[in-house]
Chains A and B, each alone.
Chain A
């Protein structure tokens, strides 16, 4: 057992190994960390680069500001420096780091100075650390430099120490995820010395702030921060090493922080404190904002506040979550249990005397119930404590006026009614009527009305009904008591009634939202087509969000707009770049995100069960989405993604079916060809070998018959081969019919004669109109078509005479071949022109190749004509195939022939 335990411990932590594997693919990040400008970070970085460069390693400078320092500039000389990108910013030309250039150049190591730099507006990422993240993701090793005061979690501390608020900040995660941190240190006195010698670059404009900044005390404090951060990192690295190598160590385990925030100022401090705490404990932390389920009214300011806090927390390495619940304490504890949290961090303010009397504070309530959890309280600084925020505005001002009017109205009404009742039949407890009024105003006007009505009712009751009447004085002491009881009852019941009303309203809106979502999903389930699903989603989102919505789907390797509302929405280059980013990274991009925030849209990936199926963009006008909109957006996108995935699968299934159909078709083709070729071949081979082997022993007639069968079968085979070749020409699109003037009568005659040669027994009648114009076409092809039609008529057309007619129809010429056979069922009239469609003989055998009519159609259409089948043709039987050649010019046949009948032999 003990051994088992040891084995368990000896096994490397899989998560740690996984993280290591993930790191292998990414480029390494080395951060040169200093306490202040001027300590020599850039110099250290470049000297190291030069050393590696001398060893033949591909080191390239992406961007380094020398600030006119000659020693630094000298170091740069031997290194390859990437050209900068020129960007216009507020009318000035700025030279910026060229991210795309760097990605194309792909050096082994790239140096990009000043990690905390903010990119000018219009860049792909607002911050340089995001550029670097992209470089790392592309597998490029990056060296960069950072001063400790730019670290996000230290921003407030730095401001406290130095009195200078740092604007350009870098999230702690960036430093935390760095593979290597090189501390560049210099004693503060020496730094001040260098400053005095002018060796440190400082912008002129900020000289006074700079003087304040570079004081010995400040620098010492910053140096301590830098040293401590580096030491923390070294500690982390050691822990990582121990974990990866399965060495049991004393690393902190199992600590997990939950941090409760709201939209107030204090929350920012709570988050920063929690960040330091978490980093000290080496614990993961979760930032949570709890929203009251019964308060649907979220003001945009509040939402923005919470979003800002969440962004900050995420930058500092936290996870964030929004939770909805009735009871704050309950929700926090539930979450803590679910997340296995060990500590809770909340903010608290000094409370007023009134608050202390009437309500238990959140920290008190929490500590009373949070058994086994550590609770950290963060208090505001003195300056902040005084600047109390106004209490959350739950009701808009417009509503307030209405509430007051409702309250007043009800009290007036109840007073009147009370007076009337009192005069007609005096009641001992007329106060109940007033209570009714309070409930009424609660139901109609909400909490404010109820409160107002309760107070006014108390006064009115006193004034109008308690002796002495029409004064606020009360004669009997027990009346005083009764009045207070009434007030209490009125306030409480009014409160409850208004709460119920509020909840009913919210439940109503929720139900509507849910209903609409449900309708959407039902409709979506009924659509199998991609476009239908997309349009459903667009209209649903447009309705629920009241914003422009675009959907983009991947087509031919790129994203293309599939649907948009309003329909004339157009995406510019920035929007498209953001959309593509979202598609490639499967992350949100565009407005309100860290990538291309200049885009007007925020793009979200549509993630189906089999990967990304599209991108949805929602326009961002200033505010982010509120919680409800966010929820409905997520739900709609999820469902749409699944529907699209389904549609894609359906498409694939169809494709598969088509492929299968094609395969079956090819099989039928092969089997048909092999049968049609083999039968004559067998006959020929058999007859020839029979003649050779037994020729002498045969009767002369038998010999003659065998020879004739050889001849016939050879002819059959050659016709079949010709048909196949014709078909191939049609299929391959290489058929180029001649456009000669063709005399229909000639063509008909020669086709009939050709048919007669191989089927002498059949009767073929022809009737050709005398006024027939010449038609444009290829006489050989038309002849072949006619031959095929006659061949079919012989095969299927029964025993009666076959009729060939040609006549004029306006400018067009119509040629028809009619037989008196079984005919074709109406549903097959078009199918007979399909390849390998064969109408079987009565015995079920398919005698033909199934090519004749399809070749006929191919030829006729290639010459610009049409062909169709009619059945029954005459006297309720037979088939007529009709060809129509359109107007072919003005030339008419110069010598009109009489209708000619070619009687059969």
Chain B
């Protein structure tokens, strides 16, 4: 089996020091870069399957790396970020990063995110015929949603929202992405729409809407549909 190759971009040697043995042990081929320029060069020359990117780099902002990368590659990118850099994190996600992990993080969380991101890449955006999670079934071909065999009635907006989250299942989808895709670019800032519709959606699809299992909130960032 061909090992997935992961590019770790971080200027802190300590981080590299534990990521390399851990990711190697987890079955990945690890390559390293300490600056943004090195990272871009490595992506171009060494063809990694995924990038783990720290936002604070000495030579350029991590966001710039993503913006540059997205110009010519749709490689999955997972951001390593700190909570006090929330706005940067959201900006990075909006720029096309696939997911994020907050420092300090456990290796299990990181490898889970890596698996999700790689799975999506491997499936190459193919929409599965039927999406199932936590007893919920979504049939995009027939636009049907059912829970435990009972068909649910969703409004068109609710359905669009659910489908968008399902297509990015396991990954975080930012508020902006949800708003612009479902309501249009003019409503990119209308967070209250989203709050209301997510609430309605949870009422219909969740077993216990007060403790949502399917559509999770990523505070301040967006929502994530959990796949088992």
CB-CB under 8 A from B106, the residues of chain A are 685-686, 689
B103 part of interface (Cβ distance < 8 Å): yes
Residues in A neighbouring B59, C-beta threshold 8 A: 843-844
Q: Are A685 and B14 in contact (CB under 8 A)?
A: no
Given contacts A674-B82, A689-B107, contact A698 B18 (CB under 8 A): no
Q: Which of A670, A687, A699, A843 contacts B18 (CB 8 A)?
A: A687
Contacts of B103 in A (CB 8 A): 678, 681-682
A693 touches B84 (CB 8 A): no
A705 to chain B, nearest CB (A): 7
Which residues, 674 to 711 on A, are CB-close (under 8 Å) to B?
674-675, 678-687, 689-690, 693-695, 697-699, 702-703, 705-706, 709
In the complex, which of the residues A678, A684, A690 contacts B22, with contact meaning CB atoms closer than 8 Å? A690
Among residues of B, the one whose C-beta sits closest to the C-beta of A686 is B18
Which of A690, A693, A843 counts the most chain B CB atoms within 10 A? A690
Q: Which residues of chain A are near B58, meaning CB under 8 Å?
A: 843-845
Selected from B17, B19, B104, B107, the residue in CB contact (under 8 A) with A693 is: B107
Q: Is the CB of A681 within 8 A of B84?
A: no
* B17 interface neighbour in A674, A694, A705, Cβ under 8 Å: A705
Report if A671 contacts B (CB, 8 A): yes
State the CA gap A675–B104 with chains docked (Å).
11
Q: Is B25 an interface residue (CB 8 A)?
A: yes
Most A CB contacts (10 A, CB to CB) among B18, B56, B82, B108 go to B18
Set of chain B residues within 8 Å of A706, measured between Cβ atoms: 17-18, 21-22
- A683 to B26, Cβ gap below 8 A? no
**Residue B12 is within 8 A (CB to CB) of chain A in the complex:** yes
Contacts of A712 in B (CB 8 A): 14
Given contacts A682-B104, A686-B104, is CB(A693)–CB(B26) below 8 Å? yes
Number of A residues contacting the other chain (C-beta, 8 Å)? Answer: 32
Nearest CB on A from B13, distance (A): 9
Q: Does B99 contact A (CB under 8 A)?
A: no
Give the residue of A679, A683, A684, A698 whose beta carbon is less than 8 angstroms from that of B21: A698
Does B15 sit within 8 A of A, measured CB to CB? yes
Q: Which of B18, B24, B35, B82 contacts A678 (CB 8 A)?
A: B82
Residue of chain B at shortest CB distance from A698 = B25
Complex contacts, A687 vs chain B, CB 8 Å: 17-18, 22
Task: With both chains docked as a complex, state the minimum distance between the C-beta of B135 and any C-beta of chain A, in angstroms.
Answer: 29
Q: Does B98 contact A (CB under 8 A)?
A: no
Q: Tell whether B105 is near chain A: CB-to-CB under 8 Å.
A: yes
Cβ contacts under 8 Å, B49 to chain A: none
- Kindly state the separation between the CA atoms of A674 and B21 in the bound complex, as whole angstroms: 26
A319, CB-defined interface residue at 8 Å: no
In contact, B17 and A683 (Cβ under 8 angstroms) = yes
B104 proximity list for chain A (CB < 8 A)? 678, 681-682, 684-686
Chain B nearest CB, measured from A5 CB (Å): 52
Q: Which residues of A contact B25 (CB under 8 A)?
A: 690, 693-695, 697-698, 702
Query: Which residues of A have CB within 8 Å of B14?
Result: 679-680, 682-683, 709, 712-713
* Residues 1-44 of chain B, each 1 if its beta carbon lies under 8 Å from chain A, else 0: 00000000001101101110110111000000001000000000
User: Of all chain B residues, which has the CB nearest A845?
Assistant: B58
Task: Point out the residue from A694, A705, A709, A845 that lies within 8 Å of B11, measured CB to CB.
Answer: A845
Query: Complex formed: what's the CA distance from A685 to B108 in Å?
Result: 11
Q: How far is the CB of A642 from chain B (nearest CB, A)?
A: 44
Chain B minimum-CB-distance residue to A682: B104
Among B15, B24, B107, the residue within 8 A (CB) of A679 is: B15
B contact residues around A670 at 8 Å (CB): 84
Q: Chain A contact residues: over half helix, strand or loop, or mixed?
A: helix
| Cα of A694 to Cα of B19 in the assembled complex, Å | 11
The reply to whether A709 and B82 form a contact with Cβ atoms under 8 Å apart is no
Q: Which residues of A contact B21 (CB under 8 A)?
A: 690, 694, 698-699, 702-703, 705-706
Q: CA of A689 to CA of B56 in the docked complex: distance in angstroms?
A: 23
Residues of B within 8 A of A678 (CB): 82, 103-104
Q: How far is A679 from B10 in the complex, measured between Cα atoms in Å?
A: 11
Contacting residues, chain A, for B12 (C-beta < 8 A): 679, 682-683
State the interface size on chain B (CB cutoff 8 A).
25
Report B60 CB to chain A, min CB distance, Å.
10
Taking CB as reference atom, which chain B residue is nearest A842? B58
Chain B residues within an 8 Å CB radius of A705: 17, 21
**CB neighbours of B11 from chain A (8 A):** 843, 845
- For window 62-93 of B, CB contacts with A under 8 Å fall at 82, 84
Residues of chain A contacted by B22 (CB below 8 angstroms): 686-687, 689-690, 693-694, 706
The CA of A94 and the CA of B66, in the complex, are separated in Å by 92
Q: How many Å from the CB of B85 to the closest CB on chain A?
A: 9
Instruction: With CB as the reference atom, state the residue of chain B lying closest to A696.
Output: B25
Report the Cα distance A123→B104, complex, angstroms: 77
Interface flags, A554-571, vs B, CB<8A=1, else 0: 000000000000000000
Chain B CB within 10 A, most for which of A679, A682, A844: A682
Contacts of A690 in B (CB 8 A): 18-19, 21-22, 25, 107
Q: How distant is B192 from chain A, measured CB to nearest CB, in Å?
A: 29
In the bound assembly, the distance between CA atoms of A671 and B84 in angstroms comes to 8
Q: How far is the CB of A162 from the nearest CB of chain B, in Å?
A: 85
Tell me whether A689 and B108 are in contact in the complex, defined as CB-CB below 8 angstroms, given that A678-B82, A678-B103, A679-B12 are known contacts.
Answer: yes
Q: How many angstroms between the C-alpha atoms of A704 and B38 in the bound complex?
A: 29
Q: Cα distance A680–B84 when bound, in Å?
A: 16
Q: Complex formed: what's the CA distance from A713 to B14 in Å?
A: 8
Are A682 and B15 in contact, with the CB atoms below 8 A?
A: yes
Residues of A within 8 A of B107 (CB): 686, 689-690, 693-694
Residue of A nearest to B80 (CB): A682
Interface centre among B24, B56, B59, B103 (most CB of A within 10 A): B103
Query: Which listed residue, A685, A686, A694, A699, touches B26 by the CB 8 Å rule?
Result: A694
Check A709/B26 contact, CB under 8 A, given A686-B106, A843-B58. Answer: no
By a CB distance below 8 angstroms, the chain B residues around A685 are: 104-106
The residue in chain A whose Cβ has the minimal distance to the Cβ of B103 is: A682
Q: CA separation between A699 and B84, bound complex, in Å?
A: 36
With most chain B CB atoms within 10 A of its CB, the pick from A681, A693, A695, A699 is A693
**Shortest Cβ gap from B184 to chain A (Å):** 36
With contact pairs A694-B22, A694-B107, A697-B25 given, residues A686 and B15 touching in the complex (Cβ less than 8 Å): yes
User: Which A-chain residue is minimally distant from B11 (CB atoms)?
Assistant: A845
CB distance from A402 to the nearest CB of B (A): 87
Chain B: minimal CB distance from A810 (Å): 47
Chain B residues near A671 (CB-CB < 8 A): 84
CA of A697 to CA of B23, assembled, Å = 11
Give residues 96-129 of B contacting A (CB, 8 Å).
103-108, 111
Given the complex, which residues of B lie within 8 Å of A679, measured CB to CB?
Answer: 12, 14-15
Most chain B CB atoms below 10 A, which of A683, A685, A706: A683
CA distance A844 to B21 in the complex (A): 28
* A427→B84 CA distance, assembly (Å): 108
Kindly name the residue among B35, B56, B107, B108 whose own CB sees the greatest number of chain A CB atoms within 10 A: B107
Q: How far, in whole Å, are A670 and B59 apart by their CA atoms in the complex?
A: 22
CA A393 – CA B88 in complex, angstroms?
A: 86
| Closest partner residue, chain A, to B34 (CB atom) | A843
- In the complex, how many angstroms separate the beta carbon of B1 from the nearest chain A beta carbon? 16
A845 CA to B11 CA in the complex, in Å?
Answer: 9
Residue of chain A at shortest CB distance from B111: A693
Query: Is the beta-carbon distance between A683 and B84 smaller than 8 angstroms?
Result: no
A680–B17 CA distance with the chains assembled, in angstroms: 12
Least distance between A839 CB and chain B CB atoms (Å): 14
A-B pairs with beta carbons under 8 Å apart, 5 shown = A674-B82, A682-B105, A687-B22, A693-B111, A702-B24
Q: Which 7 interchain pairs have the tightest Cβ spacing?
A: A690-B22, A694-B25, A702-B21, A689-B106, A682-B104, A683-B14, A685-B104
Chain B residues within 8 Å of A, Cβ to Cβ: 11-12, 14-15, 17-19, 21-22, 24-26, 35, 56, 58-59, 82, 84, 103-108, 111
Chain A interface (Cβ < 8 Å from any Cβ of B): 670-671, 674-675, 678-687, 689-690, 693-695, 697-699, 702-703, 705-706, 709, 712-713, 843-845
Beyond A686-B18, A697-B25, 8 additional contacts (C-beta under 8 Å) are A671-B84, A679-B12, A683-B14, A683-B15, A686-B105, A698-B25, A706-B18, A843-B11
